[in-house]
Amino acid sequence: EVHLVESGGGLVQAGGTLRLSCAASGFSLNGYAIGWFRRAPGKEREGLSSFSPLERIAYYADSVKDRSTISSDNAKNTVYLEIKNMKPDDTAVYYCAASHHGPEVAGTLQSGWFQYWGQGTQVTVSS
């Protein structure tokens, strides 16, 4: 059974750095694409980054691309998202998702391509 668990959320000071983890189980990251999304209060879900752990292809949304890095530790079957210079507008529930479409999805932020989702982790940025 595919299972994704996010961690690393909580309270972050404005200007600080957020580091999220997405631990995958029930499948190997190789052959899948992993995406990070968020949903802020009163807003639609937003795609932040997508990544192929096998081919090391990464793609970022304009809202975070200059301050974010997505990476993986394939031995730990875990994907990470780091966002620097956090802002109050970054307050949201952050989700990771996996797609069995693999590397071809690594360049998209369309949530419909991702079949498996974690439960999310709340991130609150204080000013």
What one-character-per-residue DSSP string does 47-60 give?
EEEEEETTTTEEEE
Instruction: Give me the residue label for tokens 């998702």.
Output: 97
Q: For the chain, 127 residues long, give each residue's pLDDT as a single digit of tens.
A: 899 999 999 999 999 999 999 999 999 988 899 999 999 999 999 999 999 998 899 999 999 999 999 999 999 999 999 999 999 999 999 999 999 998 888 888 999 999 999 999 999 999 9
Nearest-CA neighbor of 51 among 43, 62, 60, 41?
A: 60
Sequence letter at residue 78? T
Q: How far is CA 81 from CA 8, 51, 60, 69, in A?
A: 10, 10, 11, 6
Contact assessment for residue 124 and residue 116, using Cβ atoms and an 8 Å cutoff: no
Instruction: Give me the residue label for tokens 């631990």.
Output: 23
pLDDT for residue 106:
83
Question: What is the rounded distance in angstroms from the CA atom of residue 38 to the CA atom of residue 48?
Answer: 7
Nearest-CA neighbor of 59 among 12, 9, 104?
A: 104
Find the radius of gyration of the CA atoms of the chain. 13
